[in-house]
Amino acid sequence: MIDHVFYLDFDQQRGLQEQLRESLVSAILGGGFPPDEPLPSCRKLSQQLSISRNTVALVYESLLDNGYLVSRPRSGYYLHADYCGGDASNAWPSFSRHRPVGYSDTCDAERAPDWAGRLKMLPSLKHGVLRPGDWSGFSYPFIYGQPIRDLFPLERWREVSRNTLRSERDQGWLCDRFDRDDQMLIEQLRTRVLPKRGIWASSDEILLTLGSQNALYLLATLLMTHGVKVAIENPGFRDALSIFELQGAHVHKQDIDAQGLVVDARLDDCDYLYVTPGHQVPTGIAMSAARRTRLLQHIRQHDQILIEDDYDAELNLDHHPQPALKASDSSGRVIYLSSLSKAFSPGLRLGYMVADAELISELRALRRLMYRHPPLNNQRMLAEFLAQGHYDAHLRRFREEHGRRRAFMQDAVSRCLSSCQHLGSDSSSAFWLKAPAGVDTQKLAWAAAQKSILIESGAQFFFKPAPPGNFMRLGFHAIDADKIRLGIEQLAGVLEGV
């Protein structure tokens, strides 16, 4: 039994103590130890797992301190009474797959709830960008939205974490703030981040979110319902379409051209307009100054609200980047969304929203009903990271590497995929390519995957019954820089064969 329970395939990226403790706790909670017998001795368990006795002893001591085990002199470690027999099963959920004696499949079927009849919506039908879960295992992952892992400032982040956790420091992040955010982070965003995009806001006009997509969900829940009409770009951000539709809104899909969203009479009766003007999703097109002016005039003329998603604000490397539309908003008609995900850490899931204080107040109340506030420890760590200048230093390195990789991509695409037309800005985080007529990039993506090359077919970004099939998006942050050229060369070989 012990050999079966404690066969561990140790992960070299994690500590031995951490992994052993995790396995022991799982066995204790799952009823893997008899209550009247001692656990394996330190010597025996260390021999079975080929690890030091000290490692086992330290883990046993930590479980003793936490109340999982008791120590009996000259006998060994035993389960604490709370985890013995019936008491353990009452106190903790059982993960056993065994059914109670007498339980039948017929009984199971009769008692199973009819979830299909109870569901009021089917979010599972609203798919996002399709990519395999094991994308990191591909040799050439040309996908968008993942970080340049080698650039994450792990030591600086650890330093900030250690400082934040010191006992003499303010431990306010341990408390429930109900609906309040970390004021230090709000101040850093207000004075150091937003001004880079030309935005000056007061603290009551800023709300922290779990990323821009969470901000969209909050806005849709509060502002959209049946009878509300919202315009989005086509092609565009599919998750935004799904979020708006789930709230019952009528979604109008508006075309884009080389200057961004087309502003014409088709937008006149819309209540809200959702745009990605910095780098349009998925094309990377930067909205022109003339189109921005026309768009702002249009929303004032027709009493509309503009939702500006500046999702990669920190990565705009254009020679003369346009400020955010919010910077030119004198009437409070622009709601601004952004995050630090693209240049820092998508997994951190911290974004922010800027809007009139009246709207932010209601959004804050709605957020409280959903999850109160984003985790305060992450908020404070990010605030310290910004205040210490670590983020700006990281951003300089990231932009340099971003530009270097983009140049590699540009060279490789120009040489090897010359039959494809490159659209979009020269500084966006992905290449939007139009392949020759007749090329099906969905078939190309499948064939490329067989060569361990991962690309994104463009058809999934178009909101029409028969989308064009010859577009594709290639990201370059998730792939190693020295593999970009070879990956594009191999993709060109696959393209010739489809």
Stretch 431-443: mean pLDDT: 95
444 has pLDDT over 70 = yes
Stretch 39-64: mean pLDDT: 88
222 has pLDDT over 80 = yes
2 has pLDDT over 50 = no
Name the CATH superfamily housing domain 131-151+393-497.
Aspartate Aminotransferase, domain 1 (3.90.1150.10)
359 has pLDDT over 60 = yes
Residue 13: per-residue pLDDT = 73
Average the pLDDT over each of 167-176, 324-333, 376-385, 401-410 and give the range with the smallest value: 167-176
Comparison of pLDDT for 149 and 392, the residue scoring more = 392
CATH 3.40.640.10 residue spans of the chain: 171-388
- The whole-angstrom separation of Cα 412 and Cα 229 is 43
Residue 87: per-residue pLDDT = 42
Residue 89: per-residue pLDDT = 39
Stretch 375-402: mean pLDDT: 92
Stretch 369-380: mean pLDDT: 92
CATH 3.90.1150.10 residue spans of the chain: 131-151+393-497
Residue 468: per-residue pLDDT = 94
Residue 129: per-residue pLDDT = 79
Q: What percentage of the chain exceeds 70 in pLDDT?
A: 92
Residue 284: per-residue pLDDT = 93
- pLDDT tens digits, 223-251: 999 999 999 999 999 999 999 999 999 99
Stretch 87-106: mean pLDDT: 41
CATH 1.10.10.10 residue spans of the chain: 2-91
Q: What percentage of the chain exceeds 90 in pLDDT?
A: 59
- The token duo for 261 is 């969203």
Q: How many residues does the chain have?
A: 498
Please state, in angstroms and as integers, the Cα–Cα distance from residue 86 to each residue in 83, 105, 464, following that order. 8, 26, 58
317 has pLDDT over 90 = no
Residue 281: per-residue pLDDT = 95
pLDDT band for 85, please (50, 70, 90 cuts): low
Residue 4: per-residue pLDDT = 42
- pLDDT tens digits, 327-346: 999 899 999 999 987 778 88
419 has pLDDT over 50 = yes
- pLDDT tens digits, 280-290: 999 999 999 99
- pLDDT tens digits, 95-104: 333 344 444 4
405 has pLDDT over 70 = yes
Stretch 390-405: mean pLDDT: 91
Residues with Cβ < 8 Å from 135, sequence gap 6 or more?
Answer: 141, 143, 146, 454, 478
What fold does the segment set 2-91 form as a domain?
Arc Repressor Mutant, subunit A (1.10.10)
CATH 3.40.50.300, domain 171-388, yes or no: no
- pLDDT tens digits, 135-177: 888 999 999 988 888 888 889 999 999 988 887 777 777 788 7
pLDDT band for 316, please (50, 70, 90 cuts): low
463 has pLDDT over 50 = yes
1 has pLDDT over 50 = no
Q: How far is CA 493 from the centre of its chain?
A: 33
Stretch 107-117: mean pLDDT: 73
Residue 110: per-residue pLDDT = 66
297 has pLDDT over 90 = yes
SS3 of 434, please?
Answer: strand
5 has pLDDT over 60 = no
Residue 197: per-residue pLDDT = 93
